[in-house]
Structure 1
């Protein structure tokens, strides 16, 4: 019998050395019995505090909280002090009188032992009273949290500088600051048998498809794991094709990106304990769009987007095309350039494919080393390492100078990808295409491209085709794909996200911006 089979064989009130099963029983009117159950559950937990006191000099009670998760100053000032100083009380109306005496905004009653565990684990102290089968939960959580900072992985020259943090309620408040309409709905769920991680499903009522909301909720409910420590756990569990190298869920640390996705009719998933937020569904075109595209003028954004598309193909096919042409199609190279390359490769003992593999793997290793090292030395080590190793490999006759240049351009091209997950996909697919090009030349490159396109055509993200933006030849779908059209042209929502093509702006379709007849802005 393995551990997963044994852990649910425990009795409700005892430990057996492996895992304590939370008892689904009601609170008892006997205070000592409740304390005994809770102390047995929190055995060897030095941070759990049981503060016994007397309410109004006549009723025994206990205050239970976890040190470090609850605000002890507020507990002393607004809970213990007024309760201990209370006058003679009626036992029948004790709970209601206590609610009035406690100067805490969030006060609610609880009735089971499992409710006690859930409340104190979120930082809410619990009061249990003699001769009462219900307790009181106090909304006094307080723990250390990181301040709001600019996301390091999604920095922009122009745009908001705030990013999500690890605290769930801070993240929801950041969204509320962006979208202040009551149509923004946030459903709360708890996932993880042991971690009981809080998850928020956010969407715009009346804009997002009801079927999409229901599908996201159903997939989250089907997750059955011991713990959720990061949103990556959820992403892998709910995506349509988990074996695909392409990301099918958009991730972001930026509240403005999440807010814009909500306005388009997509669903945002916020996970407690991580700043990485999930957005579903997504398309391939969305993976090549950056937040700053919408903050600059449309012609600058269009130019940068086209530059991004060009370097996307260079990052994917650069080394493969070089290997194919150099190995099988030398007639495509100008004579002068071919003689220069032949002179550089005269002392190289490896074929072009092996040479490309050596440089690409070395470059990927240096990139990962730069990520894992401390920030103060990571960038310097990766850059200096690439220069030193490239120069040493060329001087030693292991690789040629043109190959070093091709790999360097390919590496720079991969840095232009606005989404880290997209860059990872390109880096993975670069190697099988290199193998095909080394075996079949340009025919192998074309076979690789055909296989990738066929795979992209078969992908779905919560029912939305991955190439939906480009597969359906409608003008309104291309306003934000190949170009970034002006805002007065992009006046409808994407039809494959929202319930209807609702107007994004109050301006009528086709109307250009400018002052109205009254002299005010239109």
Structure 2
């Protein structure tokens, strides 16, 4: 009993110590009434960094009030600081009747906030945590001697890239605007397209050190409330030092981290985000990156392009079918070639079989090794072309592939048919409108090649069945990944493999949106037709 009593007492002591430490930490985090003490704490905490500008001035009657102005050089709008803060404090106040109110006996914080400052957003602060976050974000801090409060003035400004054309998702017809690295610019681009008061935005700060601003946008009344709650819950659970790009958020909230298929869609096109919001999806915008995340994401969505809805329905449907066919070539073409030339010779016509046999007569490697050599070589050239300067990157990749392929065939190391198959496979991988799904095809290609070299067409068949089972098992924020194919929904087939004309697309996807299905009324969007001639 003594042992347990002693242990219990020690536990109570530790709890009381931790509580006292928390109280001490909380009090240490609060601003001091002495201005010099506050400034010294700021200098010590920031290591006396040279880009932190601290200026002390005197204002009020007989200049009896000491004021400290702190800002970060390069992140703060110095013109606004000079014209609306320093000039107001040092010139306008001392030359007006407001000077009489600025005496040590008055509530100077309230007077400056409500009557003196002419800038936009002004908030009070009482602790160093808020002070450092605002200061390092570009805000201006005003501290007054004798007060344990201060003012934080929003006048952020830094050099940034403007709104330019999207480079990762190029279209022939459609808007040319793309997101930038500024979160507020990106939200404005979305709101410019959706002037709906039901377009709600929730802001969060994620990252203990980076303090990255993250915004979640959705249309209230269209988005599924359960999905909105799930997205909010996953974002709130993130506890990490820093978020540098939306890809960090994607890895932390995705459903299947070990699947080769992406379960979160990303885009740098504002029109794509607006269209996704209208379907009931949720957009996650991260400060510092032009790529916006969209959830939930479906397998079909990665083969849909913004341009599909700006062109005629017939050509859009044909191009979309071409994308699916190209994705199948990306995954299966080398594997089918290996399987047929290694195991299933009887499937080829006699003339083609003789031609392939003649080409491979002096080949030193089996078809699988040839395919691996060519695929790895092309992947190296692809990555080299991406990392090289743009002026020579494309030339290096194209010329390098042509020269290496020709030299390999002439040297008798690789058969000509294998070079053709690998080239078609590589070109087909570029047809996908999104980079994520192309990466999935590139990874799966090597697995199917290995299965084909081991079991032939039987192995490919088993691999396809396993792939379909895996796709059907995936979910994206509770929504089946293969919707609207599995589970099958007839009404949603209007925008799956083909796209029907817009005047026939009356409803939104049902599994994504379950409370506001109707997109347009059937009577209001009948089939376009010329006016009837009633005069005879």
Query: What range is the shorter-chain TM-score in?
Result: over 0.9
- Contact kept in structure 1, 2:172 and 2:307, CA below 8 Å: yes
Residue 3 of structure 1 corresponds to which residue in structure 2?
none
- Contact kept in structure 2, 1:22 and 1:114, CA below 8 Å: no
Residue 63 of structure 1 corresponds to which residue in structure 2?
69
Specify which structure has the higher proportion of helix: 2
Task: Provide TM-score, normalisation by structure 2.
Answer: 0.91
Residue 520 of structure 1 corresponds to which residue in structure 2?
none
Residue 364 of structure 1 corresponds to which residue in structure 2?
379
1:51 is the counterpart of 2:66: no
Instruction: Decide which structure has the larger Cα Rg and report it.
Output: 2
Residue 199 of structure 2 corresponds to which residue in structure 1?
184
Choose which of 239, 245, 259 in structure 2 pairs with 1:224. Answer: 239
Q: CA deviation at 1:433?
A: 0.6
Spell out, residue by residue over 1:122-173, the C-alpha distance to the aligned partner (whole angstroms, 9 max, x if none). Answer: 2110100112221111111000110111111101000010111111111111
1:98 is the counterpart of 2:98: no
Q: CA deviation at 1:510?
A: 7.0
Residue 6 of structure 2 corresponds to which residue in structure 1?
none
1:416 is the counterpart of 2:420: no
Q: Write the distance in 2 (CA, Å) between the matches of 1:294 and 1:35.
A: 58
- Contact kept in structure 2, 1:120 and 1:126, CA below 8 Å: yes
Choose which of 409, 412, 425 in structure 2 pairs with 1:394. Answer: 409
Q: 1:474 to 1:24 in 2, by over 3 A?
A: farther
Residue 15 of structure 2 corresponds to which residue in structure 1?
none
- Contact kept in structure 2, 1:489 and 1:509, CA below 8 Å: no
Q: Write the distance in 1 (CA, Å) between the matches of 2:453 and 2:396.
A: 32
Q: Equivalent residues in 2 for 1:503-514 (5 A)?
A: 503-508=518-523, 511-513=526-528
Task: Provide TM-score, normalisation by structure 1.
Answer: 0.93
Residue 18 of structure 1 corresponds to which residue in structure 2?
none
Residue 84 of structure 1 corresponds to which residue in structure 2?
90
Q: CA deviation at 1:191?
A: 0.7
Residue 487 of structure 1 corresponds to which residue in structure 2?
502
Residue 421 of structure 2 corresponds to which residue in structure 1?
406
Q: CA deviation at 1:26?
A: 2.2
1:500 is the counterpart of 2:515: yes
Residue 342 of structure 2 corresponds to which residue in structure 1?
327
Choose which of 157, 161, 170 in structure 2 pairs with 1:155. Answer: 170
Q: Write the distance in 1 (CA, Å) between the matches of 2:490 and 2:400.
A: 48
Residue 33 of structure 1 corresponds to which residue in structure 2?
37
Structure 2 portions without partners, runs of 5+: 1-17, 94-98
- Contact kept in structure 1, 2:480 and 2:487, CA below 8 Å: no
Residue 257 of structure 2 corresponds to which residue in structure 1?
242
Q: 1:372 to 1:24 in 2, by over 3 A?
A: farther
Spell out, residue by residue over 1:271-321, the C-alpha distance to the aligned partner (whole angstroms, 9 max, x if none). Answer: 011111100001111111111111101001001011111111111100000
Q: CA deviation at 1:453?
A: 0.6
Q: Write the distance in 2 (CA, Å) between the matches of 1:300 and 1:424.
A: 26
Q: 1:428 to 1:496 in 2, by over 3 A?
A: same
Structure 1 portions without partners, runs of 5+: 1-7, 15-20, 518-522
Q: 1:22 to 1:467 in 2, by over 3 A?
A: farther
Q: CA deviation at 1:37?
A: 1.4
Q: Write the distance in 1 (CA, Å) between the matches of 2:456 and 2:472.
A: 25
Q: Write the distance in 2 (CA, Å) between the matches of 1:500 and 1:465.
A: 18
Q: Write the distance in 1 (CA, Å) between the matches of 2:27 and 2:258.
A: 39
- Contact kept in structure 1, 2:221 and 2:515, CA below 8 Å: no
- Contact kept in structure 1, 2:222 and 2:516, CA below 8 Å: no
Choose which of 486, 491, 507 in structure 2 pairs with 1:476. Answer: 491
Choose which of 260, 266, 276 in structure 1 pairs with 2:275. Answer: 260
Spell out, residue by residue over 1:89-136, the C-alpha distance to the aligned partner (whole angstroms, 9 max, x if none). Answer: 244242233232221011121121111111112211010011222111
Moved more, 504-513 or 359-368: 504-513
Residue 5 of structure 1 corresponds to which residue in structure 2?
none
Q: Write the distance in 2 (CA, Å) between the matches of 1:22 and 1:195.
A: 22
Spell out, residue by residue over 1:190-217, the C-alpha distance to the aligned partner (whole angstroms, 9 max, x if none). Answer: 1111101110011111111111111111
Instruction: Please give the secondary structure, in 2, of the residue aligned with 1:247.
Output: coil
Choose which of 412, 415, 428 in structure 1 pairs with 2:443. Answer: 428
Residue 292 of structure 1 corresponds to which residue in structure 2?
307
Instruction: Please give the secondary structure, in 2, of the residue aligned with 1:469.
Output: coil
1:130 is the counterpart of 2:130: no
Q: Write the distance in 1 (CA, Å) between the matches of 2:186 and 2:28.
A: 32
